[in-house]
Amino acid sequence: SFTPRVFSGIQPSGNLHLGNYLGAIKRFVDMQGSDFETVYCMVDLHAITVWQNPQDLMKSTRELCAGFIASGIDPEQSILINQSQVPEHAQLAWIFNCVARMGWMQRMTQFKDKAGKNSQNASLGLFAYPALMAADILVYHATHVPVGEDQKQHLELTRDIAAKFNHDYGVDFFPMTEPVIEGAATRVMSLRDGSKKMSKSDASDASRINMTDDADTLAKKIRKAKTDPDALPSEAKGLEARPEARNLINIYAALNDQTVDAVLAEVGGKQFGEFKPMLADLAVAKLAPIASEMARLMNDQTEIDRILARGAERARDITAPILRKTYDIVGM
Ligand code: ADP
Ligand code: NA
């Protein structure tokens, strides 16, 4: 049996957005201080699977660390790390590259999305990304991983890798990690197009709420969000064919820690002209303090670097013995 332990990560690739917050960070905060040990990671090795300017990468890593802390991750209670500072992630990833099968990797929809039409020109790292992600999780023997819906397939692959390793070497060494995909906002959509997920890489800044947006920018983006002309329904099934409406209601529910049904019981019958200012006020109340705390923390980068160095030391107390044991099992 395995110690109940949570691991999750976010790429420091700029434009930390409301989808990352509601689908991931806010839920990381909720799992802190529960029955789990919590390990949260800036995954810079994942970020460089697509080109990152070195100065920007370093700034985004510190900004993401500030975003975690400003959102309520306590670096004493949780282990907060930058992936490249804990070398066992990359070391276990190599073993997993030799466990995972080409056919498994070729089925990953995120690779197809990110590589686009010219997949021959994508980096080998982008293709191998899910094996590194499996190593990130399993090098802690993590039992639970809170993520957004887009990561479901990668978590299945993580279990496949753990199962094949255990089977091939005749051990019961890696746990079958459970994804935790919960809440009203496991898939936050673009504010401009209800069929696309909100994403760091969308060229349109108006499509997403950035965690660094100030109150005026936030309110303006919500006012301009795409909607339809109908009044809001009073039950969730009334949102089924209305992706933009559903998205704004999901965002409201997740920000306010309510269910979608509870929100609709209050706002059913209202027009967007009335609901959008309510959502804007709520978003400003919840997010503007995080943005200003991030800015404050970014003024003391020495402190951020100290927190990450300390996190890496604590992490290695867990990862070094697990990697050593893995090498023993493999015959190294
Ligand atoms: P991105 O997809 O923005 O590049 P990452 O790949 O670093 O971000 O994902 C970090 C976390 O944020 C993952 O748990 C992912 O599932 C979650 N996430 C990303 N986008 C969204 C979204 N639009 N809605 C909900 N969760 C999301
Ligand atoms: Na993602």
> Would you name the residues annotated as active-site residues?
114, 197, 200
Residues with CB under 6 A from ligand 1: 10-11, 13, 19-20, 23-24, 147-148, 150-151, 186-188, 197-200
Cβ 134 vs Cβ 158: under 8 Å:
yes
Asked if residue 283 belongs to a domain, the reply is yes
* Ligand index nearest the alpha carbon of residue 191: 1
Asked if residue 124 belongs to a domain, the reply is yes
Nearest-atom number in ligand 1 for the CA of 186 is 25
Tokens of 146: 């809170």
Do residues 42 and 118 share a domain? yes
Does residue 191 sit within a domain? no
Instruction: Say if residue 102 is in the same domain as residue 159.
Output: yes
Same domain for 221 and 156: no
Looking at the fold, whether 257 and 321 belong to one and the same domain comes out as no
pLDDT value at position 1?
84
Give the ligand at the shortest distance from the Cα of 16. Answer: 1
Q: How far apart are CA 136 and CA 158, in angstroms?
A: 10
| CATH code of residue 216 | 1.10.240.10
Tell me, what's the pLDDT at 300? 96
Pick the closest to residue 155 from 137, 174, 173 (CA basis): 137
Q: Could you report the average pLDDT of every consecutive run of 10 residues in the chain (332 residues)? A: 95 94 96 93 98 97 98 98 98 98 96 92 97 98 96 98 98 98 94 95 94 95 96 96 97 97 97 97 97 96 98 98 98 98
CATH number at residue 323: 3.40.50.620
Question: Is 197 annotated to bind ligand?
Answer: yes
Which of 136, 150, 186, 193 most suits a substitution to test ligand 1, by most atoms within 8 Å of the C-beta? Answer: 150
Q: What is the reported pLDDT for 8?
A: 98
Residues with CB under 5 A from ligand 2 (ion): 150
Q: Which two tokens stand for residue 85?
A: 């500072």
Q: 209 lies in a domain?
A: yes
Residue 24 lies in a domain: yes
Model-level pTM?
0.96
Asked if residue 99 lies in contact with residue 161, where contact means CB atoms within 8 angstroms, the answer is: yes
Residues 134 and 246 in one domain: no
292 and 157 in a single domain? The answer is no
Q: Are both 163 and 209 inside the same structural domain?
A: no
Q: Say yes or no: 106 and 253 in one domain.
A: no
Same-domain pairing of 48 and 166:
yes
Same domain flag for 129 and 31: yes
Q: What is residue 201's predicted lDDT score, i.e. its pLDDT?
A: 86
* Residue 331 counted as an annotated binding residue: no
For residues 111 and 117, give the distance between their C-alpha atoms in angstroms, rounded to a whole number: 11
Residue 197: inside a domain: no
pLDDT of residue 214: 93
Comparing C-alpha atoms, which of 168, 132, 115, 130 is closest to residue 329? Answer: 168
Domain co-membership, 288 together with 306: no
| Ligand (nearest to CA of 146) | 1
pLDDT, position 34: 82
- Residue 13 assigned as binding residue: yes
**Residue 236 is assigned to a structural domain of this protein:** yes
Question: Are the beta carbons of 22 and 56 closer than 8 angstroms?
Answer: no
Q: Which domain holds residue 261?
A: 205-296
Residue 162 is predicted with a pLDDT of 98
* ipTM reported for the complex, 2 dp: 0.95
Nearest CA to ligand 1 atom 9: 10
Identify whether residues 19 and 130 lie together within a single domain. yes
The alpha carbon of 318 and the centre of ligand 2 are apart by a number of angstroms equal to 26
Domain count, the chain: 2
Distance (Å) from CA 170 to ligand 2 centroid = 33
Domain membership flag for residue 190: no
CA distance 1 to 10: 28
Could you give the CA distance from residue 48 to residue 106 in angstroms, rounded to a whole number?
Answer: 20
